[in-house]
């Protein structure tokens, strides 16, 4: 039975008002950089409303599913669309759950709509029972263009469920904030997981709509099924443009600096080094009690989006990347391996540097990165090991582009 939470649609009661104010504050900061010329797929109601009129509709959405300042759910209900149920990805419908935290099913008090988690204890693909009265599903999530950001994994399972149950899928496209370059090791099949399901580069350079086309075109669904797919494209967007997110896509990516640094810093999630979860600047620093003492330090605390952060209440020494400017970060066209290599050396090449569960291998898509770092490879040598695979991926990627490319 669904658990009924006492909150309103995208509004929190008193006990959660700090979280709500946090998103309002950060949202305003991000809006200062928003490109008003770009029109996201969700805004193009004239294109897709007729596709869902008089049909039973499911919606995959979270706090980023906005049309200007109004949530897509409210817009569609006001247009008379019959939304039967909502599905939420990692971090939940309101984007307030920790990374990796299991998300419960719930009800939305304002609309009465049931919200089913795609990041629960066991289910990541909507079941046949949940889909049996649906004609079409609308998918609208803001991705960040990185293989281990799990919204594209949720997309895969939604596409698979739709193909198995003869349901049409409409993806409302949004720009990729890291869509101006492609880089990183390509995932090897033996290391497939929810943080990496497909043989793509770490930074894949695709919008979520382009990615959906690639999943179909490359036959990546179970039994090579094909999803009945429609992508509503963005207007005035191409892969040369830098797009500032109007809303944080998850609790620990609160601003554009964190979005730009995320692809390189996330490798630290497979080590004993913190990337600032439990601070007000996640994915903008890195540090550990095992690194050399320096002028910069932080102590992670239990906080919104990081209830039990790595090295909680312990002083961590490391590097403050907030000093980098947005202009310098947005000019990056490759992953930074220097930070990972330097931290490993500074830790004394400790056997405890990499987590015992080898999570780094799931993030990297193979065990090569960990072994190269352990073996003393330089960042340049690391990069050289994956160039052939990367070039092959770039050729495949080109087939699915909907917008002018950066090269």
Look up the CATH number of the domain holding residue 152.
3.40.50.12170
Q: What is the pLDDT of residue 25?
A: 41
Kindly state whether residue 388 falls inside one of the protein's structural domains: no
Q: What token pair was written down for 297?
A: 């330090």
Q: What is the pLDDT of residue 322?
A: 97
Distance separating alpha carbons of residues 403 and 32, to the nearest angstrom: 25
Tell whether 57 and 136 lie within a shared domain. yes
Tell whether 228 and 269 lie within a shared domain. no
Kindly state whether residue 237 falls inside one of the protein's structural domains: no
Kindly state whether residue 360 falls inside one of the protein's structural domains: yes
Q: What is the pLDDT of residue 305?
A: 83
Tell whether 181 and 59 lie within a shared domain. yes
Q: What is the CATH number of the domain that holds 312?
A: 3.90.1150.140
Burial class (CB in 10 A: 0-12, 13-18, 19+), 9: middle
pLDDT tens by residue, the chain, 407 residues:
333 332 333 333 333 433 433 443 444 344 334 456 999 999 999 999 999 999 999 999 999 999 999 999 999 999 999 999 999 887 556 545 444 444 567 887 778 889 998 876 656 899 999 999 999 999 999 999 999 999 999 999 999 999 999 999 999 999 999 999 999 999 999 999 999 999 999 999 999 999 999 999 999 999 999 999 999 999 999 999 999 999 999 999 999 999 999 999 999 999 999 999 999 999 999 999 999 999 999 999 999 888 899 999 999 999 999 999 999 999 989 999 999 999 999 999 888 999 999 999 999 999 999 999 999 999 999 999 999 999 999 999 999 999 999 99
Kindly state whether residue 245 falls inside one of the protein's structural domains: no
Distance separating alpha carbons of residues 259 and 406, to the nearest angstrom: 19
Tell whether 217 and 333 lie within a shared domain. no
Tell whether 204 and 276 lie within a shared domain. no
Tell whether 167 and 292 lie within a shared domain. no
User: pTM score, two decimals?
Assistant: 0.89
Tell whether 265 and 177 lie within a shared domain. no
183 lies in which domain range?
A: 14-27+37-232
Kindly state whether residue 381 falls inside one of the protein's structural domains: no
Kindly state whether residue 334 falls inside one of the protein's structural domains: yes
Could you tell me the CA-to-CA distances from 28 to 250, 283, 303 in Å, in that order?
15, 19, 21
Tell whether 176 and 67 lie within a shared domain. yes
Closest CA to 332 of 260, 392, 389, 271: 260
Could you tell me the CA-to-CA distances from 250 to 71, 95, 381, 393 in Å, in that order?
16, 5, 33, 27
Kindly state whether residue 397 falls inside one of the protein's structural domains: no
Interstrand relation of 183-186 and 201-203 (parallel, antiparallel or unpaired): antiparallel
Tell whether 292 and 367 lie within a shared domain. yes
- Exposure pattern of 224-235 as b/e (b: 16+ CB <10 Å)? eeebebbbbbbe
Tell whether 285 and 228 lie within a shared domain. no
What is the SS3 assignment for 86?
A: strand
Distance separating alpha carbons of residues 183 and 185, to the nearest angstrom: 7
Closest CA to 57 of 108, 128, 133, 124: 133
Adjacency order of strands within the sheet including 316-320: 285-288, 316-320, 297-298
Q: What does DSSP assign to residue 5?
A: -
Kindly state whether residue 261 falls inside one of the protein's structural domains: yes
Q: What is the pLDDT of residue 93?
A: 67
> What is the number of domains present in the chain?
2
Tell whether 201 and 266 lie within a shared domain. no
Tell whether 19 and 160 lie within a shared domain. yes
């Amino acid at each position: 039975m669904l658990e009924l939470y006492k909150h309103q649609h995208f509004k929190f009661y008193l006990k959660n008002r700090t979280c709500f104010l946090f998103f309002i504050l950060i949202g305003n900061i991000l809006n200062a950089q928003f490109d008003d010329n770009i029109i996201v797929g969700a805004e193009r109601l004239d294109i897709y409303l007729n596709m869902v009129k008089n049909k039973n509709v499911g919606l995959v959405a979270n706090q980023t599913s906005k049309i200007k300042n109004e949530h897509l759910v409210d817009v569609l209900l006001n247009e008379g669309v019959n939304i039967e149920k909502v599905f939420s990805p990692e971090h939940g419908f309101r984007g307030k759950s920790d990374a990796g935290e299991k998300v419960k099913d719930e009800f939305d008090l304002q609309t009465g709509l049931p919200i089913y988690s795609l990041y629960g204890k066991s289910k990541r693909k909507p079941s046949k029972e949940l889909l049996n009265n649906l004609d079409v599903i609308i998918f609208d999530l803001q991705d960040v263009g990185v293989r281990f950001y799990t919204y594209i994994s949720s997309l895969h399972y939604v596409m698979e469920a739709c193909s198995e149950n003869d349901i049409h899928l409409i993806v409302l496209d949004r720009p990729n904030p890291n869509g101006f370059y492609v880089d990183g090791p390509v995932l090897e099949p033996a290391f497939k997981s929810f943080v990496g399901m497909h043989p793509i580069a770490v930074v894949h350079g695709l919008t979520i709509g382009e990615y959906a086309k690639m999943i179909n075109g490359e036959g990546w669904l179970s039994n090579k099924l094909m999803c009945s797919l429609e992508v509503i494209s963005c207007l005035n967007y191409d892969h040369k443009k830098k797009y500032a997110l109007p809303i944080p896509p998850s609790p620990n990516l609160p601003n554009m600096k964190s979005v730009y640094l995320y692809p390189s810093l996330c490798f630290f999630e497979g080590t004993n080094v913190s990337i600032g979860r439990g601070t007000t600047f996640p994915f903008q620093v890195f540090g550990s009690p095992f690194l050399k003492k320096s002028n910069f330090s932080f102590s992670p605390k239990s906080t919104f989006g990081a209830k039990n952060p790595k090295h909680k209440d312990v002083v961590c020494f490391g590097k403050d990347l907030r000093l980098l400017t947005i202009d310098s970060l947005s000019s990056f066209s490759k992953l930074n391996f220097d930070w990972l290599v330097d931290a490993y050396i500074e830790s004394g090449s400790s056997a405890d540097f990499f987590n015992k569960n080898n999570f780094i291998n799931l993030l990297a898509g193979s065990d090569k990165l960990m072994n190269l770092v352990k073996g003393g490879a330089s960042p340049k040598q690391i990069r050289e090991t994956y160039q052939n695979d990367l070039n092959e991926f770039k050729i495949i990627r080109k087939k699915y582009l909907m917008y002018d490319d950066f090269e």
